[in-house]
Structure 1
Amino acid sequence: MTTAAETFVETVLEKVRAGTGSSVSAWLAPGARLFTPRHHKPVTDPNHFAIILQSIPKVLENFRYDRTWAAGDEAIMEFKGNIGAVEVHGLDIFTIDDSGQISELTVFVRPTKAHAALAEREDAMVIETLQKLQRGEAIG
C-alpha cells in the first residue's frame, strides 16, 4: 500500500522533471506552515507559501532532488543546485495530511553562503510575483 507521503514524493519528482510547478497552491492544506531559515516565524499565508515553492526551482540553477525518503505522513527530499558558483544543498521535510496535501514543510539549507545567495534571489522573485498578483497579472 502506497502512503500519502510516497504518492506526494512521486508527484513532486514528476513536476520537477517536467519543469512544471504552477499548481503548487493545490498542494497546500488549509493552515499549512512553512518553516525556513529565511524567516523567523512560519510562513502561513498560502500565496506566499506557494510563491516560495514555485520559485525555488527557478532560483536554483540545476535544481534537483537527489534522494527521497517517505514513510507514513512524512517525506524528506534532499535537494541540490547552484546559484552561480555557489553550491546549494538542502533538505525539505514535508508532513502530508490525510488528503495528500502539505500541512507543514521545514527547510534546511547549507552552507551559509548558499543561504545568503538564495535569500537574495528568492526575495527578488517573491516581490516580483506578489507585485504581479497585486496588479492582477497571471503568474506561472
Structure 2
Amino acid sequence: MSVSGRAAPSTSLASTATSALRAAAESGDADAVAELLAPGVVFHSPMTDRVRFEGKEEVAALHRDIFAVLDDLETTEALALGDSRSFSFRARVRGVDLEAHVLLHVNEQGQIDELKIFVRPLPALATLFAVLPPRVSARRRGRLTGAVAAYLTGPLAFVVRTADRFTPRFL
C-alpha cells in the first residue's frame, strides 16, 4: 500500500519539532528545548507515575538537570504516526550505558505538549534515579531535601548495579 499526496501540516510541524528536539538533546541545549515546548507541556517521569513535570519553565529546567547528568547523548531517527513521534537515544550516566525511548506529541502550533520517556536497562535507570532526583529536589525544594533524596536513592543504584554484575552468572 502506498501513501501519496502531501503530508498534513501538523505532520510536518511534528517532524520539524522532533528534529529540533533531537538536535537540542544531542547538544545538551535546554534553552533550545524550551523553545519547542507548549506552555502546558507535560513530562511524564520515567522513574515513577507519582511525578509529572508540567509547564514550559519546569520542563525546560528539568532538561537542564537531565543534560547535566547525561554524557555522550546520541539520538536515532524518529518514527511517526500523525502528530506523535518516537525516537530512541543512548547516553551514559555516571559511566553506565543507558538506552531510552521518547514518545512525544506535537500540537497544532508545532509545539511539544507531551513527553514520555522509558529507560533501560535497570542498572542505568537505577543510576539515573540516584543522580537525577537529588539534583531536581535540590533545585525545587532546597539542598537539604536534595541530600535526603540522595540518601534514599543511592543505595538502590548500588544494589541494582551489583546484582546486575553477579545475577547473570546464575541464569
Q: Shared fold by TM > 0.5?
A: yes
User: What RMSD in Å do the two structures reach over aligned CA positions?
Assistant: 2.4
User: Quick one: structure 1 residues 20 and 37, their matched pair in 2 at CA, closer, same or farther if it must change by over 3 Å?
Assistant: closer
User: Quick one: structure 1 residues 101 and 41, their matched pair in 2 at CA, closer, same or farther if it must change by over 3 Å?
Assistant: farther
Cα distance between partner residues in 2 of 1:68 and 1:45: 24
Cα distance between partner residues in 1 of 2:16 and 2:96: 32
**24, 34, 52: which is aligned to 2:33?**
24
Partner AA of 2:108 in structure 1: D
What is aligned with 1:35? 44
Cα distance between partner residues in 1 of 2:54 and 2:114: 12
- Please identify which structure carries the higher strand content: 1
Q: Which has the higher contact order (CA 8 A, sep 6+)?
A: 1
Confirm or deny that 1:119 pairs with 2:126.
no
What is aligned with 2:19? 10
Q: Which runs of 5+ in 2 are unaligned?
A: 1-6, 143-171
Would you say how many aligned residue pairs link Structure 1 and Structure 2?
Answer: 132
- Please identify which structure carries the higher helix content: 2
TM-score (norm: length of structure 1): 0.78
1:9 Cα deviation after fit: 1.7
> What SS does the aligned partner of 1:113 have?
helix
- What are the residue-to-residue correspondences of 1:1-140 with 2, within 5 Å? 1=7, 3-41=12-50, 43-46=52-55, 47-130=57-140
> What SS does the aligned partner of 2:30 have?
coil
1:98 Cα deviation after fit: 0.7
Which structure: larger Rg? 2
1:42 Cα deviation after fit: 5.2
